[in-house]
Structure 1
Amino acid sequence: MMSRRIKYALLAGSLVILLLLAYPFVMGPLCITAATHRWHGFSTVRICPRFVEVLPAEVAQRFDDIVEPDGSRPAIEDALRDLGIDYSWDRLQGRYQGIIRAPDSNFHALVVHIYLDESGIYQRIDVYDSFTWL
């Protein structure tokens, strides 16, 4: 017959294993929600990883403030550099693609797509959250 101490130790071990298995399913959605809505408390107390501070709409607005509606490729590249966005040209999609990463974290980034027409004139920008860690 097992002693009470052994039973409690086995129970505690089982609870730890259960918590470790459940952690990604509980914390993942919580951290994604916190980052999407920029709830800084979860990141500040280290419940969740750090996330990008700026909202996607703010990045799009800043870009549109810099680039004219009929902006050319050099103007677009200058704006991307001015905003500190790492970018590349995707020749298969015919667009610029960029990324803004959270400092010291692989959890969250903003993905930037800038679309041009056939003559290389700026059409629109799409910026959205991307979660890569969970």
Structure 2
Amino acid sequence: FSGLFYWCSDKDFPEGTSLELCTDDNDRGNGGGTVVERSALHFDDFFSSMGAVFVQATLIGWQPILFDAMDATSAGISPKIYNSPGYFIYFFIGTFLFGIMAVNLLVGAVFDSFIQMKEKLSGKDFGLDLEQRKLRA
């Protein structure tokens, strides 16, 4: 996905056109100020990629990444709506797997905390110091 999440700020810019034409020099009468913009969540470098995957794993706000990927054409070309529907499969499988992994980690942490609190409240380790607890385990 590197280099694919760019678009022209001009709303009338044609789909599937080279982004080199999206400049103030090629104004086309829209009042100027057109620039090439990049999505906030992208895969252009390692840390941005990890951020995008984290957003996908948390299941909060991952839809813009999906739609940017599905609209992607190639590097330097403006996006077309639903140009690459195959990317939906990656995001569906990835979101499902990452989401399940995140939920399992959360449930495991809560369950582990519950077991520790239960042992403390039951008096199982009551009166033992740290070394005695290690020997007991």
Asked if these proteins are the same fold (TM beyond 0.5), I'd say no
User: What TM-score do the two structures reach when normalised by structure 2?
Assistant: 0.26
Q: TM-score, normalised by structure 1?
A: 0.27
Determine which structure has greater relative contact order: mean sequence separation of CA pairs < 8 Å that are 6+ residues apart, divided by chain length. Answer: 2
Which has the larger helix fraction?
A: 2
